[in-house]
Amino acid sequence: MAQGSPTCTNAGVQGNFGFQATGVFLAGAPATGAVAFVGELELRVNAGEEVIAGEVAGSEDGTIFPFTKAPVTGSYSVNADCTGTATITPKGQSPLNFSFVVVDGGKEMLAIETDADTVVSGTLQR
């Protein structure tokens, strides 16, 4: 997978992405155990701000979250070198912060959660 996209900008990665992430929340995190998230996210520039909207579902330590699909809000920022950051917040839940790299000509992003006491990675794919 080649890093980058034709335009590594906030506007250059706009669109709909399938999202999946798996990993573990360690002792010290608000919850502990294995976690998994799946959903659809839309990244777009709206009135000059980079916003994320969509829905996610998830499980924690084998138990499905109390929501089947929670609406999410968030924000993102892409650097000229095709790295970036994103925050997604499922309704009623704590924000999830990620660092990512844009790959495969902008068709995919590889992400890792940057919150303390988490070992979670995932992908966003068009």
Spatial distance between the Cα atoms of 71 and 61, rounded to a whole number of angstroms: 21
Hey, which bits of 1-126 come out as E strands?
Answer: 15-25, 33-46, 49-60, 63-64, 70-78, 83-90, 96-103, 108-113, 118-125
pLDDT of residue 86: 97
Give Cα separations from 98 to 50, 62, 63, 105 (angstroms): 15, 23, 23, 20
CB atoms within 10 A of CB 61: 11
pLDDT of residue 62: 79
pLDDT of residue 96: 93
pLDDT, tens digit (0-9, with 9 covering 90-100), for 24-77: 989 877 777 899 999 999 999 988 899 999 999 888 887 777 666 889 999 999
- pLDDT tops 90 at residue 100: yes
Global pTM value = 0.88
- CB neighbour class for 63 (10 Å; exposed up to 12, middle 13-18, buried from 19): exposed
CA 26, distance to chain mean position in Å, is 19
Segment 14-27 mean pLDDT: 94
Instruction: Please tell me the CATH superfamily of domain 11-125, with its number.
Output: Quinohemoprotein amine dehydrogenase alpha subunit, domain 2 (2.40.128.120)
